[in-house]
Amino acid sequence: MCIKEGRVTHIWTQDPKISKQVARASLIDNVVENLTDLIGKVDAIILARDDGENHLRMAKPFLDAGIPILIDKPLTDQEDDLKEFVRYYQQGKPIMSCSSMRYARSILDLKANKKIGRILTASAVTPKYWRTYAIHMIEAVYAVMGGGVESVQNVGRSGEEIVHLDYADGRHAVVQTFAKIGQGNIMFYGEKGMALAGDPDAFFQFKNMLQHFIKMLQTGKSPIDWKETVEMVKVVIAGQRSLEEKGRRVNLSEIG
């Protein structure tokens, strides 16, 4: 069940009690008091948080030190921070960021087999909130359909987001985040049929994501197209902006 090529040796959280609890449960040998204490002690960093507004601040010391980092979804939800991440990437800093949904069995199978033909649209629904959880569904859509979204329009309301993704080539996807529902799913519709891409095995997909991160450390090559990662972040930002501007259609080209 373990990943032989890698081992988590150190942990930090904002609360030393939580750090010690996680360390005991996960067999992690070392707990550090300060985030930057990890520098010089580890070969890579996993930033396993969903508060995108804090990701740049927390990742910056490691990026400056040239330490490879896996940033759990989303990379960020702030336009200015995205610009900084792009600058770091262009400097050659090793960054990987994604939702583990990209590596779910059903998504991998649908991507590989093309069994429903060219996919023209998708409908995805997830619990919780747009800024933190929409990226799961966006990642699944991109893993199967690829990039090329031109504009985003949020016609829902806070806690009940209904967001239309309009591809430049005429394809579509609708991503919904509803705070009060208990479970979500995603359907893809192609020229030859449709496919449900639900997958309850979160352990498999998260382990698969970590294996791809370790492979990046070994090869120096990211498993995900960086341009696609940036575009997905722009979709998150555009969806929030559209809501704030009463459903205005937001072109991704507006976001730097």
Number of other residues whose CB lies within 10 A of the CB of residue 172: 15
Span 208-215, average pLDDT: 93
Evaluate if residue 168 carries a pLDDT over 80.
Answer: yes
So what's the pLDDT on residue 152? Answer: 98
So what's the pLDDT on residue 1? Answer: 56
So what's the pLDDT on residue 4? Answer: 77
Mean pLDDT of the chain: 94
The percent of residues in the chain predicted with pLDDT above 90, rounded, is 88
Residue from 146, 157, 94, 81 nearest 119 by CA: 146
So what's the pLDDT on residue 169? Answer: 97
Do residues 32 and 10 lie in contact, with contact meaning Cβ atoms separated by under 8 Å?
Answer: yes
Do residues 184 and 126 lie in contact, with contact meaning Cβ atoms separated by under 8 Å?
Answer: yes
Q: Which amino acid is at 242?
A: S
**The two three-digit tokens of residue 69, written as one number:** 């980092």
117-121: Cβ within 8 A, 24+ apart: 117/190, 117/191, 117/192, 117/193, 118/190, 118/191, 119/144, 119/145, 119/171, 119/188, 119/189, 119/190, 120/171, 120/172, 120/189, 120/190, 120/191, 121/171, 121/172, 121/173, 121/174, 121/188, 121/189
Instruction: Give the residue carrying structure tokens 């799913």.
Output: 185
124-158 per-position pLDDT tens digit: 999 999 999 999 999 999 999 999 999 999 999 99
Span 72-88, average pLDDT: 96
Q: Which amino acid is at 156?
A: G
So what's the pLDDT on residue 202? Answer: 85
Domain positions in the chain are: 10-100+203-226, 101-200+235-254
CATH of 101-200+235-254, one of 3.40.50.300, 3.65.10.10, 3.30.360.10, 3.30.750.24: 3.30.360.10
Evaluate if residue 5 carries a pLDDT over 60.
Answer: yes
Evaluate if residue 111 carries a pLDDT over 70.
Answer: yes
Reported confidence tier of residue 55, pLDDT bands at 50, 70, 90: very high
Do residues 174 and 239 lie in contact, with contact meaning Cβ atoms separated by under 8 Å?
Answer: no
Residue from 47, 46, 52, 45 nearest 233 by CA: 52
SS (H, E, C) 44-58: CEEECCCCHHHHHHH
Task: Give the C-alpha separation, 133 to 178, whole Å.
Answer: 10
What DSSP designation does 9 have? -
The alpha carbons of the chain give a radius of gyration, in whole angstroms, of: 18
So what's the pLDDT on residue 201? Answer: 81
The answer to whether the 10-100+203-226 and 101-200+235-254 domains have the same CATH topology is: no
DSSP strand pairing (193-196 vs 160-167): unpaired
24-49 per-position pLDDT tens digit: 999 999 999 999 999 999 999 999 98
Evaluate if residue 2 carries a pLDDT over 90.
Answer: no
175-208 per-position pLDDT tens digit: 999 999 999 999 999 999 999 997 778 889 999 9
Task: Give the C-alpha separation, 189 to 124, whole Å.
Answer: 11
Domain 10-100+203-226 bears CATH identifier 3.90.550.10 = no
